[in-house]
Amino acid sequence: MVKVAAVQLEAVLADVDANLAACERLATQAGEAGAKIIALPEFFTTGIGFDERLAYTALPIDGPATKLLTSLAARFEAMVGGSFMCADTDGHVRNKYVLAGPDGVIGVHDKDLPTMWENAFYVGGHDDGVIDAGTHTIGAAVCWELMRTQTVRRLRERVDLVMAGSGWWSVPPWMPGYRRWERDNEATARTAAATFARFVGAPVIHAAHAGTLECAMPWMPMRYRGHFEGSALITDADGTVLAERSRHDGEGIVLADITLGRQQPSLTPPPTFWLHRRGPVAAFAWNFQRLHGRRWYRNNVRAS
Protein backbone atom coordinates (compact mmCIF):
# COMPACT_ATOMS: atom_id res chain seq x y z
CA MET A 1 0.00 0.00 0.00
CA VAL A 2 1.13 3.54 -0.72
CA LYS A 3 -0.33 6.82 0.55
CA VAL A 4 -1.33 9.15 -2.27
CA ALA A 5 -2.84 12.63 -2.47
CA ALA A 6 -4.94 14.67 -4.89
CA VAL A 7 -4.92 18.46 -4.71
CA GLN A 8 -8.00 20.63 -5.22
CA LEU A 9 -7.01 24.17 -6.17
CA GLU A 10 -8.87 27.48 -6.30
CA ALA A 11 -6.62 29.13 -8.86
CA VAL A 12 -6.19 32.84 -9.49
CA LEU A 13 -6.80 33.10 -13.22
CA ALA A 14 -3.56 33.84 -15.15
CA ASP A 15 -1.53 34.56 -11.98
CA VAL A 16 1.35 32.11 -12.24
CA ASP A 17 3.17 33.21 -9.09
CA ALA A 18 0.08 33.01 -6.88
CA ASN A 19 -0.87 29.59 -8.20
CA LEU A 20 2.64 28.15 -7.84
CA ALA A 21 2.66 29.35 -4.23
CA ALA A 22 -0.73 27.76 -3.55
CA CYS A 23 0.33 24.47 -5.14
CA GLU A 24 3.52 24.41 -3.11
CA ARG A 25 1.53 24.97 0.08
CA LEU A 26 -1.04 22.26 -0.70
CA ALA A 27 1.50 19.72 -1.96
CA THR A 28 3.63 20.36 1.13
CA GLN A 29 0.59 19.59 3.27
CA ALA A 30 0.21 16.31 1.37
CA GLY A 31 3.88 15.44 1.63
CA GLU A 32 3.99 16.17 5.34
CA ALA A 33 0.98 13.85 5.75
CA GLY A 34 3.05 11.05 4.22
CA ALA A 35 1.88 11.05 0.60
CA LYS A 36 4.39 9.43 -1.75
CA ILE A 37 2.41 10.24 -4.91
CA ILE A 38 0.88 13.71 -5.26
CA ALA A 39 -1.32 14.88 -8.14
CA LEU A 40 -1.81 18.55 -9.02
CA PRO A 41 -4.64 19.55 -11.36
CA GLU A 42 -4.62 20.50 -15.01
CA PHE A 43 -3.51 24.14 -15.55
CA PHE A 44 -2.08 24.29 -12.05
CA THR A 45 -0.05 27.38 -12.95
CA THR A 46 -2.89 29.45 -14.42
CA GLY A 47 -6.39 28.09 -14.01
CA ILE A 48 -8.47 28.14 -17.19
CA GLY A 49 -11.10 30.35 -18.82
CA PHE A 50 -11.41 32.38 -22.00
CA ASP A 51 -9.09 35.18 -20.90
CA GLU A 52 -6.54 36.71 -23.28
CA ARG A 53 -3.98 36.98 -20.47
CA LEU A 54 -3.51 33.21 -20.72
CA ALA A 55 -1.83 33.72 -24.11
CA TYR A 56 1.19 35.06 -22.20
CA THR A 57 1.48 32.49 -19.42
CA ALA A 58 3.11 29.49 -21.15
CA LEU A 59 6.27 28.37 -19.34
CA PRO A 60 9.32 26.54 -20.71
CA ILE A 61 9.75 22.90 -19.82
CA ASP A 62 12.69 23.78 -17.58
CA GLY A 63 10.85 26.74 -16.01
CA PRO A 64 9.31 27.37 -12.58
CA ALA A 65 6.45 24.85 -12.89
CA THR A 66 8.79 21.93 -13.53
CA LYS A 67 11.17 23.21 -10.87
CA LEU A 68 8.33 23.19 -8.35
CA LEU A 69 7.40 19.59 -9.24
CA THR A 70 10.99 18.35 -9.04
CA SER A 71 11.74 20.20 -5.80
CA LEU A 72 8.63 18.79 -4.11
CA ALA A 73 9.46 15.30 -5.37
CA ALA A 74 12.99 15.54 -4.02
CA ARG A 75 11.88 17.01 -0.69
CA PHE A 76 9.34 14.27 0.02
CA GLU A 77 11.00 11.42 -1.95
CA ALA A 78 7.75 11.19 -3.89
CA MET A 79 6.28 11.32 -7.38
CA VAL A 80 4.54 14.62 -8.12
CA GLY A 81 2.66 15.43 -11.33
CA GLY A 82 0.41 18.01 -12.92
CA SER A 83 -0.15 19.81 -16.22
CA PHE A 84 0.49 23.38 -17.31
CA MET A 85 0.64 25.39 -20.52
CA CYS A 86 4.15 24.70 -21.75
CA ALA A 87 6.04 26.59 -24.46
CA ASP A 88 7.56 23.82 -26.56
CA THR A 89 10.71 24.18 -28.63
CA ASP A 90 8.78 23.91 -31.92
CA GLY A 91 7.05 27.23 -31.25
CA HIS A 92 3.73 25.77 -30.09
CA VAL A 93 2.10 25.72 -26.66
CA ARG A 94 0.86 22.40 -25.27
CA ASN A 95 -1.00 21.32 -22.16
CA LYS A 96 1.87 19.25 -20.82
CA TYR A 97 1.58 16.81 -17.92
CA VAL A 98 4.96 16.52 -16.18
CA LEU A 99 5.66 13.68 -13.76
CA ALA A 100 8.64 14.23 -11.46
CA GLY A 101 10.48 11.96 -9.06
CA PRO A 102 13.22 12.50 -6.50
CA ASP A 103 15.87 12.47 -9.25
CA GLY A 104 14.08 14.79 -11.68
CA VAL A 105 11.53 14.53 -14.48
CA ILE A 106 10.36 10.96 -15.09
CA GLY A 107 8.20 11.60 -18.15
CA VAL A 108 5.71 13.89 -19.84
CA HIS A 109 2.39 13.67 -21.68
CA ASP A 110 0.71 16.24 -23.94
CA LYS A 111 -3.09 16.34 -23.71
CA ASP A 112 -4.39 15.04 -27.04
CA LEU A 113 -7.28 17.45 -27.77
CA PRO A 114 -7.99 20.89 -26.27
CA THR A 115 -11.48 21.19 -24.79
CA MET A 116 -13.77 23.94 -26.08
CA TRP A 117 -12.23 27.40 -25.43
CA GLU A 118 -8.91 25.74 -24.54
CA ASN A 119 -8.30 25.62 -28.31
CA ALA A 120 -7.44 29.33 -28.07
CA PHE A 121 -4.36 28.66 -25.96
CA TYR A 122 -2.63 25.42 -27.00
CA VAL A 123 -2.47 22.60 -29.54
CA GLY A 124 -2.92 18.87 -28.96
CA GLY A 125 -0.29 16.16 -28.62
CA HIS A 126 0.15 12.64 -29.96
CA ASP A 127 1.89 10.48 -27.32
CA ASP A 128 0.20 7.56 -25.59
CA GLY A 129 0.44 8.91 -22.03
CA VAL A 130 2.28 5.84 -20.73
CA ILE A 131 5.21 6.78 -18.47
CA ASP A 132 7.79 4.26 -17.25
CA ALA A 133 8.47 5.11 -13.61
CA GLY A 134 10.79 2.19 -12.89
CA THR A 135 9.02 -0.33 -10.69
CA HIS A 136 5.62 0.86 -11.94
CA THR A 137 4.07 2.27 -15.10
CA ILE A 138 2.03 5.46 -14.79
CA GLY A 139 -0.70 6.60 -17.16
CA ALA A 140 -1.37 10.32 -17.53
CA ALA A 141 -4.89 11.48 -18.45
CA VAL A 142 -5.89 15.14 -18.50
CA CYS A 143 -9.51 16.29 -17.96
CA TRP A 144 -11.68 15.29 -20.95
CA GLU A 145 -9.18 12.59 -21.89
CA LEU A 146 -11.12 10.78 -19.16
CA MET A 147 -14.16 11.10 -21.42
CA ARG A 148 -12.72 9.56 -24.60
CA THR A 149 -12.49 5.97 -25.76
CA GLN A 150 -9.12 6.57 -27.42
CA THR A 151 -7.59 7.32 -24.00
CA VAL A 152 -8.84 4.01 -22.65
CA ARG A 153 -7.34 2.17 -25.61
CA ARG A 154 -3.96 3.80 -24.95
CA LEU A 155 -3.86 2.91 -21.26
CA ARG A 156 -6.05 -0.18 -20.82
CA GLU A 157 -4.18 -2.98 -18.99
CA ARG A 158 -0.88 -1.15 -19.56
CA VAL A 159 -0.55 0.98 -16.39
CA ASP A 160 -0.42 0.46 -12.63
CA LEU A 161 -1.83 3.89 -11.79
CA VAL A 162 -3.55 6.74 -13.64
CA MET A 163 -2.61 10.27 -12.59
CA ALA A 164 -5.25 12.71 -13.77
CA GLY A 165 -6.17 16.34 -13.34
CA SER A 166 -8.98 18.52 -14.61
CA GLY A 167 -10.35 22.05 -14.76
CA TRP A 168 -13.99 21.21 -15.49
CA TRP A 169 -16.33 24.22 -15.62
CA SER A 170 -20.09 24.41 -15.10
CA VAL A 171 -22.85 25.15 -17.60
CA PRO A 172 -23.56 28.93 -17.71
CA PRO A 173 -26.80 29.75 -15.88
CA TRP A 174 -28.26 31.75 -18.79
CA MET A 175 -28.29 28.61 -20.95
CA PRO A 176 -31.84 27.33 -21.72
CA GLY A 177 -32.52 24.24 -19.61
CA TYR A 178 -29.64 25.19 -17.30
CA ARG A 179 -30.71 23.21 -14.25
CA ARG A 180 -31.01 19.90 -16.11
CA TRP A 181 -27.82 20.36 -18.16
CA GLU A 182 -25.82 21.43 -15.13
CA ARG A 183 -27.11 18.51 -13.04
CA ASP A 184 -25.91 16.10 -15.73
CA ASN A 185 -22.63 17.98 -16.19
CA GLU A 186 -21.84 17.91 -12.48
CA ALA A 187 -22.64 14.19 -12.26
CA THR A 188 -20.35 13.37 -15.20
CA ALA A 189 -17.53 15.47 -13.76
CA ARG A 190 -17.80 13.58 -10.49
CA THR A 191 -18.01 10.06 -11.93
CA ALA A 192 -15.66 10.26 -14.94
CA ALA A 193 -12.49 9.42 -13.01
CA ALA A 194 -13.99 6.50 -11.09
CA THR A 195 -15.54 5.05 -14.24
CA PHE A 196 -12.22 5.47 -16.05
CA ALA A 197 -10.55 3.23 -13.45
CA ARG A 198 -12.98 0.45 -14.39
CA PHE A 199 -12.25 0.91 -18.11
CA VAL A 200 -8.47 0.85 -17.64
CA GLY A 201 -8.05 -1.55 -14.73
CA ALA A 202 -5.91 0.68 -12.48
CA PRO A 203 -6.33 3.07 -9.55
CA VAL A 204 -6.87 6.74 -10.37
CA ILE A 205 -5.69 9.88 -8.56
CA HIS A 206 -7.72 12.83 -9.85
CA ALA A 207 -6.79 16.40 -8.92
CA ALA A 208 -9.22 19.22 -9.66
CA HIS A 209 -10.12 22.90 -9.62
CA ALA A 210 -12.83 24.43 -7.46
CA GLY A 211 -14.05 27.99 -7.00
CA THR A 212 -15.81 30.49 -9.24
CA LEU A 213 -14.95 31.64 -12.75
CA GLU A 214 -15.90 34.73 -14.73
CA CYS A 215 -14.56 35.40 -18.21
CA ALA A 216 -15.52 36.36 -21.75
CA MET A 217 -17.41 33.99 -24.04
CA PRO A 218 -15.99 33.32 -27.53
CA TRP A 219 -17.95 35.13 -30.27
CA MET A 220 -20.74 36.00 -27.82
CA PRO A 221 -21.71 39.30 -26.15
CA MET A 222 -22.55 37.75 -22.77
CA ARG A 223 -19.94 36.79 -20.19
CA TYR A 224 -19.42 33.39 -18.64
CA ARG A 225 -20.13 33.23 -14.91
CA GLY A 226 -19.94 29.85 -13.26
CA HIS A 227 -17.79 27.55 -11.17
CA PHE A 228 -15.44 24.61 -11.41
CA GLU A 229 -16.93 21.22 -10.63
CA GLY A 230 -14.18 20.03 -8.27
CA SER A 231 -14.29 16.40 -7.13
CA ALA A 232 -10.65 15.75 -6.39
CA LEU A 233 -10.74 12.04 -5.63
CA ILE A 234 -8.85 8.78 -5.33
CA THR A 235 -10.21 5.44 -6.50
CA ASP A 236 -9.00 1.88 -6.48
CA ALA A 237 -8.78 -0.20 -9.66
CA ASP A 238 -12.43 -1.27 -9.52
CA GLY A 239 -13.65 2.32 -9.32
CA THR A 240 -14.43 2.42 -5.60
CA VAL A 241 -13.95 6.00 -4.37
CA LEU A 242 -11.57 5.94 -1.41
CA ALA A 243 -11.45 9.69 -0.76
CA GLU A 244 -13.20 12.68 -2.33
CA ARG A 245 -13.38 16.44 -1.97
CA SER A 246 -16.44 18.10 -3.50
CA ARG A 247 -16.41 21.57 -5.02
CA HIS A 248 -18.34 22.77 -1.97
CA ASP A 249 -15.35 21.81 0.21
CA GLY A 250 -13.16 24.25 -1.70
CA GLU A 251 -9.40 24.17 -1.83
CA GLY A 252 -7.52 21.40 -0.05
CA ILE A 253 -6.26 17.84 -0.41
CA VAL A 254 -7.58 14.30 -0.17
CA LEU A 255 -5.48 11.35 1.01
CA ALA A 256 -5.87 7.59 0.72
CA ASP A 257 -3.86 4.38 0.75
CA ILE A 258 -3.96 2.44 -2.52
CA THR A 259 -2.40 -0.68 -4.00
CA LEU A 260 -0.55 0.03 -7.22
CA GLY A 261 -1.06 -2.47 -9.99
CA ARG A 262 -3.20 -3.37 -12.95
CA GLN A 263 -6.10 -5.79 -13.05
CA GLN A 264 -8.66 -7.03 -15.52
CA PRO A 265 -10.90 -4.05 -16.36
CA SER A 266 -14.52 -4.46 -15.35
CA LEU A 267 -15.87 -2.31 -18.21
CA THR A 268 -15.38 -2.61 -21.96
CA PRO A 269 -14.99 0.63 -23.90
CA PRO A 270 -17.82 1.40 -26.32
CA PRO A 271 -17.27 1.68 -30.09
CA THR A 272 -18.10 5.40 -29.89
CA PHE A 273 -15.68 8.34 -29.63
CA TRP A 274 -17.02 9.37 -26.21
CA LEU A 275 -17.19 7.16 -23.13
CA HIS A 276 -20.09 9.16 -21.68
CA ARG A 277 -23.13 10.65 -23.32
CA ARG A 278 -22.83 14.40 -23.92
CA GLY A 279 -25.83 16.66 -24.07
CA PRO A 280 -26.48 19.19 -26.84
CA VAL A 281 -24.96 22.05 -24.81
CA ALA A 282 -21.59 20.32 -24.58
CA ALA A 283 -21.72 19.15 -28.20
CA PHE A 284 -22.46 22.66 -29.45
CA ALA A 285 -19.75 24.26 -27.29
CA TRP A 286 -17.20 21.60 -28.31
CA ASN A 287 -17.55 22.40 -32.02
CA PHE A 288 -18.30 26.12 -31.86
CA GLN A 289 -15.48 26.99 -29.47
CA ARG A 290 -13.02 24.70 -31.24
CA LEU A 291 -13.59 26.62 -34.49
CA HIS A 292 -13.15 29.95 -32.74
CA GLY A 293 -10.22 28.81 -30.62
CA ARG A 294 -8.07 27.46 -33.41
CA ARG A 295 -8.38 30.75 -35.28
CA TRP A 296 -7.70 32.75 -32.11
CA TYR A 297 -4.62 30.64 -31.33
CA ARG A 298 -3.15 31.21 -34.80
CA ASN A 299 -3.59 34.96 -34.45
CA ASN A 300 -2.60 35.48 -30.82
CA VAL A 301 -0.44 32.76 -29.30
CA ARG A 302 3.26 32.23 -29.79
CA ALA A 303 5.48 30.09 -27.59
CA SER A 304 8.43 32.10 -26.30
Confidence check: pLDDT of 196 > 80: yes
Number of domains forming the structure of the chain: 1
End-to-end CA distance of the chain: 42
Percent of the chain whose predicted confidence (pLDDT) is above 90: 89
- Mean pLDDT on 111-116: 96
Confidence check: pLDDT of 202 > 80: yes
Which residues form the domain of 234? Answer: 2-300
Instruction: Answer yes or no: are the C-beta atoms of 95 and 159 closer than 8 Å.
Output: no
* Beta-strand pair 212-216/241-246: unpaired
- For residue 175, give the 3-state DSSP assignment: coil
What is the maximum span of the chain, computed from C-alpha positions, in angstroms?
Answer: 52
Confidence check: pLDDT of 282 > 80: no
Q: Which residues of 22-42 are buried (b: 16+ CB within 10 A; e: fewer)?
A: bbeebbebbbeeebbbbbbbb
Confidence check: pLDDT of 175 > 90: no
CA distance 16 to 44: 9
- Mean pLDDT on 2-28: 98
CA quadruple 155, 196, 32, 246: dihedral, nearest 10: 160
- Mean pLDDT on 53-60: 97
- For residue 301, give the 3-state DSSP assignment: coil
Instruction: Answer yes or no: are the C-beta atoms of 69 and 98 closer than 8 Å.
Output: yes
Highest mean pLDDT among 206-210, 272-276, 287-291: 206-210
**Mean pLDDT for the chain?**
95
The CATH number of residue 129's host domain is 3.60.110.10
Confidence check: pLDDT of 304 > 60: no
pLDDT of residue 117: 95
pLDDT of residue 303: 66
- Mean pLDDT on 155-176: 93
Task: Please return the burial class of 3, using the count of CB atoms within 10 Å of its CB with bins 0-12, 13-18 and 19+.
Answer: middle
